[in-house]
Amino acid sequence: QRILELADAHRQVDPAFAHWAAGYGVIRHDPLTQLRVRQMVDELVALGRTPDAGTAWQRLAAADRVTSAGMWLVAHMTYSQRVRTDGAALEVDDFKTTPEGHTGGSLNMVPAYAGYLLMDSLDGVTRAWMMGQGHCVAAIDALNVLVGNMTDRHAERYDRTGEGLSRFVSDFYAYTLNPDGTPASPLGSHVNAHTAGGVMEGGYLGFAELQYVHAPLKDERLVAFLSDGAFEEQRGSDWAPRWWRAEDSGLVSPIIILNGRRIEQRSQITQQGGERWLDRHLRLNGFDPIALDGRDPASIAWGIHVMESRLQAGAAVPADVRLPYGIAETVKGFGFPGAGTNASHNLPLPGNPAKDAEARALFNEGTAALFVAASELDEAIAALN
């Protein structure tokens, strides 16, 4: 009750804060996140890392809109071969005859990666990123094309026009080849050499979980997005707290996307108690877990800020450092029809929109809830960038 009252009081006296706190589309900021983020903004302004609170709230609100647009584009990557930038409903011929994509996990990765971009924007620090869920690359590529963070190979082929985005979604899982046998599309089913910022393919469960703590050298920073499915495959990552050393390791922010499903099955973590069980397990292994809202990019950004701050503070007494670990709880496929079902792993709709009128209506209904008008999206991208 006290949290509710404090959040409400802040909204009453600060219109810019209230504008962000209202959320956007399917993006909601719970009262605890509102208070956490407000404290973070105050700290960033006091330290001179963000120009002023007004700028911070503008960037936070922008991240909500970019997140919504990213989820909208991910849904199109799976199902459509055309994008209508005016938000009009798609027709039968606009859909792929054979849809494909790890849609649920990719939808979950959009708020996570948007939160990473948001934190970089808030404090002016460009961090590296790593993703254990390499098959969720659609989220990375979708947000990168929206904000213009692309390798040359992507930038020469895609942009935010209707034509550019239609080419983008058509290329996803297209399997087309050039005359010399090379792939025509720079998009892949997993992170590849053309994915801006990508450092590992992320296809084999557990590799990122083992490598992330060793990757950043002193004075470098890394955000590692980890898979709850991989957590159950490879147990070596439990030793990560023993491997981070203040004298030669950079700041690392591991964040597990806890969507409760391993491929299309319920995860063992969920069956053993979910976030509470995982929190206890991590503490027993020397971690310092932090509960995050995996549906909210602001909560992800706050988590990165707090985890880095804890490592920096603990570095003065290395023996006392416990490795922070964000638990970003969400629902697989959040924000789109089919969320939380077995189908959400790959194709969340009950049928193929190219052949099924009900599935087509559900797609149009789901994407309409995520759509961001071009002028509003332009403003949001400019603010975030």
Alpha carbons 29 and 299: distance in angstroms, whole number: 8
Q: How far apart are CA 134 and CA 211, in angstroms?
A: 14
SS3 99: coil
CB 191, CB 102: distance < 8 Å:
no
So what's the pLDDT on residue 343? 93
Report yes or no: 238 and 254 within 8 Å, Cβ to Cβ. Answer: no
- For residue 378, give the amino acid letter: D
Q: In which residue are the tokens 């804890």 written? A: 310
Q: Which residues contact 32 (CB under 8 A, 6 or more apart)?
A: 3
Three-class DSSP category at 24: strand
* b/e sequence 229-258, b meaning 16+ C-beta within 10 Å: bbbeebeebbebbeebeeeebbbbbbbbbb
Q: What is the pLDDT of residues 163-192, one digit of tens each?
A: 999 999 999 999 889 999 988 999 999 999
DSSP 80: B
Question: Which tokens is 189 given?
Answer: 């089913």
Per-residue pLDDT of the chain (385 residues; tens, 9 = 90+): 888 898 899 899 999 999 999 999 999 999 999 999 999 999 999 999 999 999 999 999 999 999 999 999 999 999 999 999 999 999 999 999 999 999 999 999 999 999 999 999 999 999 999 999 999 999 999 999 999 999 999 999 999 999 999 999 999 999 889 999 988 999 999 999 999 999 999 888 888 999 999 999 999 999 999 988 767 777 778 889 999 988 899 999 999 999 876 666 666 776 666 778 888 988 999 999 999 999 999 999 999 999 999 999 877 666 667 999 999 999 999 999 999 998 999 999 999 999 999 999 999 999 999 999 999 999 999 999 9
CB 107 within 8 A of CB 74: yes
User: Which of 167, 170, 169, 146 is CA-nearest to residue 157?
Assistant: 167
Q: Give CA–CA dist 34/37, Å, rounded.
A: 5
CA dihedral 131, 136, 142, 148 (to 10 degrees): 20
Instruction: State the chain's maximal CA–CA distance in angstroms.
Output: 66
Report how far residue 329's alpha carbon sits from residue 255's, in angstroms, rounded to the nearest whole number. 10
Q: At what angle do helices 162-171 and 53-79 cross, to 10 degrees?
A: 60
- Strand, coil or helix: 130: strand
d(CA 200, CA 222): 13
Joined tokens for residue 275: 């976030």
**Residue-wise pLDDT tens digits, 319-368:** 667 999 999 999 999 999 999 998 999 999 999 999 999 999 999 999 99
Q: Which of 227, 244, 324 is nearest to 279 (CA)?
A: 324
Pick from 383, 287, 370: which is nearest to 335 by CA? 370
Q: What is the pLDDT of residue 235?
A: 74
Rounded CA separation 105/285 (Å): 27
